[in-house]
Structure 1
Amino acid sequence: MIEWDVEAMARLRSAVNRGDWAAGLELLQGRPLEPVLQYAGDVALMVVARGQAQGACLANDCRALLADRGWPGDAELAAELAAPRGPGSGPYRTLLPLPVDLGAVAAAMDDGLHVLDLERGDVLALDELSRDEPQARDGARWLPIPPGILPEGEDARRGAARRWLAEQGYRPIERTL
């Protein structure tokens, strides 16, 4: 079994952020899913959404491992992996999709004084918002990201960000240009 080194993690992170399901699937093959369950679940969601046969198997594997692990955000991801496919299907689908980088949300939770742009999914520092966004007075567009004490490890931090996002009524989807 191939382990997760720094280069492989960077490639997986990039594949998920680009929405490149094929590259993500290739990286997961032959490697343990446990250290990267949040990323693996995101890859599984992308693969299933594209009707690829490998998606259901990966989704089932991730769902079982997430249920066993039980870290912050694992239940939310497992619920999405279990949701019936199709527009508006399943209870998890009641959460609004938002193209957001969970790593950026986690970093903002760690630092504090950030907001989430509910139209574009961008994470901005408050001082950046007031300087660059004249329409910042429109409070419906911006969601304050509360500071928090996050768990150690990238996968656990992504999970904490996923949980917070679900509590706000949103689920992360891949970002596209």
Structure 2
Amino acid sequence: MTGWDEDALAGLRAAVARGDARAGLAALAGRPLGPVLQYAGDVLAAAVAEGLAGAEAAARKCLAELEERGLPGDAELAAELAAALDGRPSGLDALPVDLGAVAQALEAGPADGLWLLDLERGDVLPPDEPASGEPCGGGGRYLPIPPEGPLREPEEERRGRARRWLAGQGHRPGPRVL
């Protein structure tokens, strides 16, 4: 196993979504981190926190690659990974949010309306879905996601932009559990 085929990538995505550090670490084994740094950082931060064998070395490698690459969201993820390696909190609140959904909302155009992030459940909601009367922004349950328009970037970069926006709001993605 040396590359990222669809099955391997699907396994990594699923491990990140579940917060399954052990499965994520297994998915990363023997594969290059470069194409999946945004997923790898999430998995490795969790693996380091759990003290899994091999996690620290892989996390340090991922951290170096994030710092070298410098795409949107890489600095935020590098800070989270460095905090995990140092055994300290990242300073951001974990929110069970799907970065892909946040990226999709960021890509909406102004005519599409303002998508909202549910700060209690982590769901990204279309403009017409929240219950009427619920406050948006300003400490309410919903946080407006400002549209940036079509980004047309690869998945890795879209996740990074979403991570950067989320960190700017004081949050980091956490596992989505039922």
TM-score, scaled relative to structure 1:
0.88
Contact 2:136 2:144 in 1 (8 A): no
CA gap 1:103/1:69 in 2 versus in 1, 3 angstroms? same
**Identity value in percent:** 59
State the Cα distance separating 1:141 from its structure 2 match.
Answer: 0.8
Structure 1 pair 173–74 and aligned structure 2 pair: CA distance change class (3 A): same
Q: What's the offset of the Cα at 1:18? A: 1.1
Q: Which residue number in structure 2 is paired with residue 31 of structure 1?
A: 31
Matching residue's letter, 1:109: L
Are 1:46 and 2:46 matched, yes or no? yes
Flag as ranges the 4+ runs of structure 1 deviating above 3 A: none
1:126 CA displacement: 1.1
Q: Where do residues 16-165 of structure 1 align in structure 2 (5 Å cutoff)?
A: 16-83=16-83, 84-86=86-88, 89=89, 93-112=90-109, 113-129=114-130, 133-134=131-132, 136-137=134-135, 139=137, 140-149=140-149, 150=151, 152-165=153-166
Q: Deviations over 1:69-107 (max 9, x none)?
A: 000000000011111214xx4xxx222221111111111
Which of 35-44 and 5-14 deviates more? Answer: 5-14
RMSD: 1.6
Equivalenced residue count is 169
- List gaps (5 residues or longer) in structure 2: none
State the distance in 2 between where 1:122 and 1:13 align.
17
Q: Distance in 1 between matches of 2:152 and 2:47?
A: 28
- Give TM-score scaled by structure 2 length: 0.88
User: Aligned partners of 1:9, 1:151: CA distance in 2, in Å?
Assistant: 20
Give how far 1:137 is off.
Answer: 3.4
Alignment partners' CA distance in 2, 1:110 and 1:124:
14
